Chains A and B, each alone.
Chain A
């Protein structure tokens, strides 16, 4: 009977019910949309950054990441190149040998990062071929270099010129070589643009005196969710006393921090949003409690215990909350789906700035069940907590005073 009473009370004042349910609906809709865009934008950004160079997971010799020295290179044995057979989530294994060198031409010198790559494998993840602004992409073992535009500009080099590289190679050997520039590469990021020089892997290995060695294996995965199973498989397959396996979060702590800071900023926005929602819902509950004080007094006077009355009113608000939250989810699904399929695209200066740093200026909404459920649940919890107010009022209700109202 209490449930029936609560249910019918909801429909007693249809307009009030509609307003309350609508305020909850819009709260869920807005919060879901905001989170979907924010998380979607970050996922897209991380995906861009990770696939730009690092990969979601890398394998190095133990201790490499802290020193990042050529001496920490390790033999590229067949089993390492076949890691994708051990973990199906690995789409490609990208072997690299990386170190710093001095590049020069004539009177100009500049510090650069010389990376030996397997051209095709590298392209499958980083789409390096697409960044060629002049010239052609590398072949497997040709004696040629791809040079970032910034490096070329610093040194006054152009396509077909020769770049001279000097460095300290593996275990202290002298590393020196000269390579014709086969292509110029444009990176959005100024940092990368001022330091990247690519050589085919065997050429770079020879340059560093590290034949058959690499400093890292970048692993191409489809999505972040694949990291966990890949790490698990690698920890089983690899000798962890010889190798270190790192995911992007360990390699890019600055990016993680930026995301954390951004999320913290958003928490404030969420708090403001939830406060607005809470005040809206509370207003309705307050109005309903005040309006029905007389009725509460009557119900207690005819034998309804305060806890029973409190439970009835609480159920009313809870049902309203559930109704609003469910409607909110239903309304959010098409909206979020639309922006998932048709991401927000920025233009103008902001887009130009993003592109400069190598990010596509688009904000796709993430479409995942947990976003809808979390926001609906949060709004529902707020409603359930606010529903305690009438219980408190009923507990303190002076029956005679209420019936005089």
Chain B
């Protein structure tokens, strides 16, 4: 069972100046295949929690285990390899590589995994078709709309067949139609590929689609609600 577990996670920014406790003892367990939204007001620690889970940041206290791996015990290089194999990121600002086409962006992480060219190409095309961008494969990010870019970002996150997708405010810059479209795609991939999705969001449309809602307030889990699909 590939789960995410955090135990008593504390993260303090600016410890030497004006300390800000972004996470203040977060205990959480996210099971395989969940479609979880982490919600809360700005500054509640949503993004920090995703960063800590994804190994982009290290907790000051507590333990983080992702798919049975102790994130804090890993070296920087091991973490990069771990992310490459097991975690897909979707960022608020899409963060595609501007000089690569949609197809190349999706292929990029697979290339870092040394997957054969044919496999990379097939997977990239399959994913871009799945997110409805079969006619935009050779376009660069600057030639795509925000919604299209975010769909490429989702395809990129899914390309290495990760166990977890961590999405930080994925719909924040999208209009309603693009948001709905993106959520449909992610929900479908969640169902079909059994990938665990964890979102940080304040977007009600995302919250409405989530099957579990974890609310953070002042760096602590204040409520954890599991809903039916």
Does A342 make an interface contact (CB < 8 A)? no
Residue from the set A295, A300, A400 with the largest chain B CB neighbour count within 10 Å: A400
CB pair B99–A298 under 8 Å, yes or no, is no
Closest chain-A Cβ to B117's Cβ sits at a distance in Å of 10
- Of A5-13, A78-86, A166-174, A237-245, the one contacting chain B is A5-13
| Chain A residues, Cβ within 8 Å of B113 | 303
| Chain A residues, Cβ within 8 Å of B83 | 301-303
| Chain A residues, Cβ within 8 Å of B98 | 12, 295
| Chain A residues, Cβ within 8 Å of B99 | 5, 8-9, 11-12
CB pair A400–B97 under 8 Å, yes or no, is no
CB pair B91–A298 under 8 Å, yes or no, is yes
Flag A279-318 by CB within 8 Å of B: 1 or 0 each.
Answer: 0000000000000001100111111111010000000000
Closest chain-B Cβ to A296's Cβ sits at a distance in Å of 11
Closest chain-B Cβ to A16's Cβ sits at a distance in Å of 14
Residue from the set A1, A12, A302, A403 with the largest chain B CB neighbour count within 10 Å: A302
Does A344 make an interface contact (CB < 8 A)? no
| Chain B residues, Cβ within 8 Å of A294 | 95
- Interface size for chain A: under 10, 10 to 19, 20 to 34, or 35 or more residues? 20 to 34
Does B172 make an interface contact (CB < 8 A)? no
The contact of B109 among A8, A12, A303, A399, by CB within 8 Å, is: A303
The contact of A400 among B57, B80, B100, by CB within 8 Å, is: B57
> Which residues of B91-141 are within 8 A (CB) of A?
91, 95, 97-100, 104, 108-109, 111-113
Closest chain-A Cβ to B194's Cβ sits at a distance in Å of 21
| Chain A residues, Cβ within 8 Å of B100 | 5, 8
Q: A400-B56, A400-B57 are in contact. Are A299 and B77 (CB under 8 A)?
A: no
State the CA gap A5–B104 with chains docked (Å). 10
CB pair B54–A303 under 8 Å, yes or no, is no
Closest chain-B Cβ to A187's Cβ sits at a distance in Å of 69
State the CA gap A295–B156 with chains docked (Å). 15
The contact of A300 among B57, B80, B108, B156, by CB within 8 Å, is: B80
Closest chain-B Cβ to A83's Cβ sits at a distance in Å of 67
Does B81 make an interface contact (CB < 8 A)? yes
Flag B184-200 by CB within 8 Å of A: 1 or 0 each.
Answer: 00000000000000000
CB closest residue in chain A, given B162: A303
Does B164 make an interface contact (CB < 8 A)? no
Does B31 make an interface contact (CB < 8 A)? no
| Chain B residues, Cβ within 8 Å of A303 | 80-81, 83-84, 109, 112-113, 160
| Chain B residues, Cβ within 8 Å of A11 | 99
CB pair A301–B97 under 8 Å, yes or no, is no
| Chain B residues, Cβ within 8 Å of A298 | 91, 95
State the CA gap A302–B84 with chains docked (Å). 6
The contact of B108 among A302, A306, A399, by CB within 8 Å, is: A302
CB pair A299–B97 under 8 Å, yes or no, is yes
Closest chain-A Cβ to B99's Cβ sits at a distance in Å of 4
Closest chain-A Cβ to B229's Cβ sits at a distance in Å of 29
Flag A1-26 by CB within 8 Å of B: 1 or 0 each.
Answer: 10001001101100000000000000
| Chain A residues, Cβ within 8 Å of B111 | 1
State the CA gap A306–B77 with chains docked (Å). 8
CB pair A302–B54 under 8 Å, yes or no, is no
> Which residues of A131-172 are within 8 A (CB) of B?
none
CB pair B54–A301 under 8 Å, yes or no, is yes
> Which residues of B3-57 are within 8 A (CB) of A?
51, 54, 56-57
CB pair B57–A304 under 8 Å, yes or no, is no
CB closest residue in chain A, given B83: A303
State the CA gap A85–B81 with chains docked (Å). 74
CB pair A302–B109 under 8 Å, yes or no, is yes
The contact of A399 among B56, B77, B84, B104, by CB within 8 Å, is: B56
Flag A365-405 by CB within 8 Å of B: 1 or 0 each.
Answer: 00000000000000000000000000000000001100100
Closest chain-B Cβ to A212's Cβ sits at a distance in Å of 83
| Chain A residues, Cβ within 8 Å of B156 | 302
Closest chain-B Cβ to A312's Cβ sits at a distance in Å of 10
Q: A8-B100, A298-B91 are in contact. Are A304 and B112 (CB under 8 A)?
A: yes
State the CA gap A306–B108 with chains docked (Å). 15
State the CA gap A262–B59 with chains docked (Å). 62
| Chain A residues, Cβ within 8 Å of B81 | 303
| Chain B residues, Cβ within 8 Å of A299 | 97
Q: A12-B99, A298-B91 are in contact. Are A305 and B54 (CB under 8 A)?
A: no
State the CA gap A400–B89 with chains docked (Å). 13
The contact of A305 among B77, B97, B108, B160, by CB within 8 Å, is: B77
Closest chain-B Cβ to A310's Cβ sits at a distance in Å of 13
Q: A298-B91, A304-B80, A400-B51 are in contact. Are A5 and B97 (CB under 8 A)?
A: yes
Flag B51-67 by CB within 8 Å of A: 1 or 0 each.
Answer: 10010110000000000
CB closest residue in chain A, given B168: A403
- 20 CB contacts below 8 A, A to B, read A1-B104, A5-B99, A5-B100, A8-B99, A11-B99, A295-B95, A295-B97, A298-B91, A298-B95, A301-B54, A302-B95, A302-B108, A303-B109, A303-B112, A303-B113, A306-B76, A306-B80, A308-B112, A399-B56, A400-B51
CB within 8 Å of A: which residues of B?
51, 54, 56-57, 76-77, 80-81, 83-84, 89, 91, 95, 97-100, 104, 108-109, 111-113, 156, 160
Known: A302-B89, A305-B80, A306-B80. 12 other contacts (CB 8 A): A1-B104, A5-B99, A8-B100, A295-B98, A298-B95, A299-B97, A301-B56, A301-B83, A302-B108, A303-B112, A304-B80, A306-B76
The 9 closest A-B pairs by CB, nearest first: A303-B84, A8-B99, A298-B95, A400-B57, A1-B111, A303-B112, A399-B56, A12-B99, A303-B109
